[in-house]
Amino acid sequence: MTVSEVQNEILKLKKEKDICILAHSYQAREIVEIADFTGDSFQLSVMAKNATQKNYIMCGVRFMAETVKILSPQKTVFLANEIAGCPMAEQMDKELIEAVKEKYPDYTVVAYINTTADLKTVCDVCVTSSSAVKIVEKIENDNILFIPDCNLGDYVAEKVPQKNIKLLQGGCPIHAAVSMEDVKKAKNMHPNAKLLVHPECVPSVVKLADFVGSTSAIMDYAMKSQDKEFIIGTEMSIAEHLQYMCPDKKFYSVSKKLLCPNMKTTTLIDVLNCIKGDGGEEIILSEDTIKKARICIDKMIELG
């Protein structure tokens, strides 16, 4: 079968079976092409909440599928490839955060959406990379415990200096591997290019950026900009998608290290198998987990 034959089969089956396919922007192009919605982690969960299909397939990582299930418990949600996890989401567990909360009882616990459903049950407010600054600004309490990404937390602390933000040591190993050296090399090779980075990168890299934002914010910025060349400091799919969307501009990935093996675990064939009922994993969460985890996600939607 060719790629387009597989895509056509998926398009036919998803209509017949009332399935909505969600693809994070880090997915490969052939998956993005058959998705009903593509976006950053925040956009995907809101789109799924508002969509009318009964069944959902998440082409992304586990915490994204869990977020869809928490927001729409009556819907059937599948993760297209069951081994697609996010290492950052699994760095901290509920027991660790409960112990930290005992030490800092007057802190509001702000969790990046890249956390497990179980951990969300003990957090106060959720944020995504696109909403973190705005939400932390709006929280009444000045004492914030920001988990798990200390790089995103550091970026928020810079932008909201009036808050007392406590960080724990965690983050995305893929973004954190980008060094100032990588940036300098890319800038030397492309001196006229603007540098757009995700706030999961280390603070020394974020400080060099012309623009800092979520995956969708980076794409939006590049598409609307009058500039013609861009160095992209997030997963390399973004540079590739942008190149297709804006053929008159040039996009360079800041480093070849910026490839998320977890996001790239999902293939078009996985999507086909999942749609046929022969692969993927249905996301099952207890009523109690959904009820408790939803509190901090609803707060995120309210403040974001």
The residue within the footprint of ligand SF4, chosen from 40, 182, 235, 270 (CB under 6 A), is: 235
Which of 74, 63, 64 is CA-nearest to residue 21?
Answer: 64
The residue within the footprint of ligand 13P, chosen from 128, 151, 237, 253 (CB under 6 A), is: 128
The residue within the footprint of ligand SF4, chosen from 20, 21, 174, 231 (CB under 6 A), is: 174
Stretch in the footprint of ligand SF4 (CB under 6 A) among 43-51, 84-92, 95-103, 125-133: 84-92
Return the amino acid letter for 249.
Answer: K
Q: Give 250's DSSP letter.
A: E
Is 82 an interacting residue with respect to ligand 13P (CB under 6 A)? no
Does residue 148 have a cis bond before it (omega within 30 degrees)? yes
Of these partners, ligand 13P, ligand SF4, none, which one is at the site of residue 41 (CB under 5 to 8 Å by kind)? ligand 13P
Q: Angle CA(42)–CA(233)–CA(57) in degrees, nearest 5?
A: 35
The residue within the footprint of ligand SF4, chosen from 172, 201, 205, 296 (CB under 6 A), is: 172
Is 86 an interacting residue with respect to ligand SF4 (CB under 6 A)? yes
The span from the CA of 230 to the CA of 242, in Å, is 10
Stretch in the footprint of ligand SF4 (CB under 6 A) among 42-50, 83-91, 135-143, 280-288: 83-91
Least distance from ligand SF4 to the Cβ atom of residue 150, Å? 13
The HSE-up count of residue 294 (CA atoms within 13 Å, CB side) is 14
Residue with tokens 């492309």, as numbered in its chain:
190
Which of 248, 239, 202 is CA-nearest to residue 218?
Answer: 239
Least distance from ligand 13P to the Cβ atom of residue 182, Å? 17
Is 113 an interacting residue with respect to ligand SF4 (CB under 6 A)? no
The residue within the footprint of ligand 13P, chosen from 200, 219, 294, 299 (CB under 6 A), is: 200
Least distance from ligand SF4 to the Cβ atom of residue 172, Å? 3
Is 61 an interacting residue with respect to ligand SF4 (CB under 6 A)? yes
How deeply is 115 buried, as exposed, middle or buried, from its count of CB atoms within 10 A (0-12, 13-18, 19+)? Answer: buried
Which of 130, 215, 233, 219 is CA-nearest to residue 177?
Answer: 233
Binding positions for ligand 13P, 249-288, rule CB under 6 A: none
Which of 37, 97, 99, 95 is CA-nearest to residue 68?
Answer: 37
Residues in contact with ligand 13P by CB under 6 A are: 40-41, 114, 128-129, 172, 200, 214-215
